[in-house]
Amino acid sequence: MFTAWTKYWYIFQVKSSSWDHATPFTWDDNHEKLHLSSAKFYRRWKLWFVYYNIYAYLVFYQLVRSLRQKDVPIKKVLFDVGYCIVLTTIVFAMLLIIMKRREFVDAVNLMFQLDTVLQSVFKRNLQRRKKKLTSRKRFLIYEWTIMAATVFSTFMPPIGFAIMVLNPNQPINRFIQYIFGFNPRNHSVSMIIVMIFSAHATLKASTIAGFLLNTAMMYMQFETFWISVITPVQRLIRGRREITLLSRNSNALRTRDGKIFFQFTELGVLSQSVIFWTFKCHQIVNTGINEVYKYVSFHHGTVLLLWCMSAFAFIRYIGRVKLLISWVLLGAWVVSNWIVLFEVYFVAGVSTIGKKFLRHVNMSQIKGTRDSKVAKSLWNLHLKTSSPFFKMGNASFLEFLKIATDITVTLLIDIHLHEIPWIGFQFNSII
């Protein structure tokens, strides 16, 4: 269920990316719908996609050149490696928006419309239990995460990169020095211009990442709330454990042939047909969301690369480089772990709640009846952010650690930088 709080931050994030009229999406306040931007606005936004492709190519080219030289400062190498990872992720995220722009709009609008319908259908039930249902830990975590993702993606990266552009090791700073022959930090006017451009360019990328994250968070909040509140509740009746609806005199409401009319849920007494209808609607939304998010698996490669490279560099060169660089490598490793933990917690939560619903519904049916066949035909909900490589589950973090550890150990044992002819510089000679 979407509250006014979550809607506000989600809409704020969409609008923050369209203030300069260069955006793939626009928000309609009158109808509360996401729309495709006009062709003119979309062409302007695609120019940023071209910019980031060129930027990623130049940084990667600079990194290869640095690896061929001797006595290259490790700070420059770390900057280039970090920028290559970030820029590759940005390019793939923008490419996904270009390829699946219409599907994104359809999926988001379908999700918002179904939530409005469900809040209208269960209006009386929600009024009685809304305070209890919306005060759960998971529900509150979703709301605050959406707010934090919006604030962080809209404000923090532009400010951070605007300040970082003044660092002489930063790729844009080096590019300006190479082309124009001066350091922007030494000229107040050029410094302000470069900082503004860097902040604006970063905003176009960070808002796309924020949009992808917030849409996924909204969907997971939507699914976990509604599926959990329509899941039949286990009750004890006359010493027997059953999943059934209880009337006021503690009698199950069944027909003579044993068919269940109603179920007892956290929303109260609900018709079983309504429960089936609600879950089938969520299956439709799940299909629409997965049509776009099954292509988001590229970020797992980014996180895996960040984990392995930071762990490898930290272990191999600890004591040979400055303490600050060691802390930066350790920080990158910790962040990559938190990203995977964060995703596993939320994505696996959707699947877990869906499994619980299907298990309880199937337990409550009489074998051979029509309702039991309908219950068996329902399939579980899952956000396929890791498709087609693996299915995100509760044990996915351990699987990720195993793969990342195997790669890092292989790098430490088998790769010796001084034996590779095309790598000319030595980290151990740089302090």
Amino acid at 43: R
Residue-wise pLDDT for 363-390, tens only, equals 777 676 777 788 888 999 988 876 666 6
Q: Regarding predicted confidence, which is higher, 388 or 235?
A: 388
| Residue 202, C-beta contacts closer than 8 angstroms, at least 6 positions apart | 157, 158, 160, 161, 162
Q: How confident is the model at residue 259 (pLDDT cuts 50, 70, 90)?
A: low
pLDDT at 113: 94
Retrieve residue 4's tokens: 């006014």
Among 113-127, 143-157, 299-313, 403-417, name the one with the lowest average pLDDT.
403-417
Instruction: Give CA–CA dist 135/425, Å, rounded.
Output: 56
User: Which residues are registered as beta bridge partners of 242?
Assistant: 235
pLDDT at 244: 41
Q: How confident is the model at residue 261 (pLDDT cuts 50, 70, 90)?
A: low
Mean pLDDT over 326-338 rounds to 83
Residue-wise pLDDT for 283-306, tens only, equals 999 999 998 988 887 777 888 888
Q: Judge whether residue 84 has pLDDT over 60.
A: yes
308, 404 in Cβ contact below 8 A?
A: yes
User: What ranges do the domains of the chain cover?
Assistant: 4-429
Among 45-49, 107-111, 161-165, 265-269, name the one with the lowest average pLDDT.
161-165
pTM passes above 0.95: no
CB atoms within 10 A of CB 174: 18
Instruction: Give CA–CA dist 17/26, Å, rounded.
Output: 9
CB atoms within 10 A of CB 322: 12
- H-state helical runs in 265-322: 272-293, 298-317
238 φψ region: left (φ > 0), alpha (ψ -120 to 50), beta (else): left
From residue 71, alpha-carbon distances to 64, 316, 424, 427 in Å are 14, 18, 8, 8
Retrieve residue 53's tokens: 């492709």
pLDDT at 147: 92
CB-side exposure of 198: number of CA atoms within 13 Å? 24
Mean pLDDT over 158-169 rounds to 78
pLDDT at 417: 47
Retrieve residue 69's tokens: 């030289």
User: Which residues are registered as beta bridge partners of 252?
Assistant: 246
Q: Judge whether residue 242 has pLDDT over 90.
A: no
Which residue has 């709080």 as its token pair? 5
Amino acid at 237: I
Q: How confident is the model at residue 26 (pLDDT cuts 50, 70, 90)?
A: very high
Instruction: Give CA–CA dist 176/186, Å, rounded.
Output: 12
Instruction: Give CA–CA dist 252/246, Å, rounded.
Output: 5
pLDDT at 387: 65
Which residue has 């309504």 as its token pair? 274
pLDDT at 321: 65
Q: Judge whether residue 237 has pLDDT over 50.
A: no
Amino acid at 137: K
Q: Judge whether residue 236 has pLDDT over 80.
A: no
% of the chain beyond a pLDDT of 70: 82
Instruction: Give CA–CA dist 244/252, Å, rounded.
Output: 6
pLDDT at 52: 92
pLDDT at 384: 83
253 φψ region: left (φ > 0), alpha (ψ -120 to 50), beta (else): beta
CA neighbor of 29 nearest in space, from 17, 15, 41, 18:
15
Residue-wise pLDDT for 1-25, tens only, equals 888 999 999 999 999 888 888 999 9
| Displacement of CA 383 from its chain's centroid (Å) | 10
pLDDT at 182: 67
Q: How confident is the model at residue 104 (pLDDT cuts 50, 70, 90)?
A: very high
Q: How confident is the model at residue 76 (pLDDT cuts 50, 70, 90)?
A: confident
| Displacement of CA 267 from its chain's centroid (Å) | 29
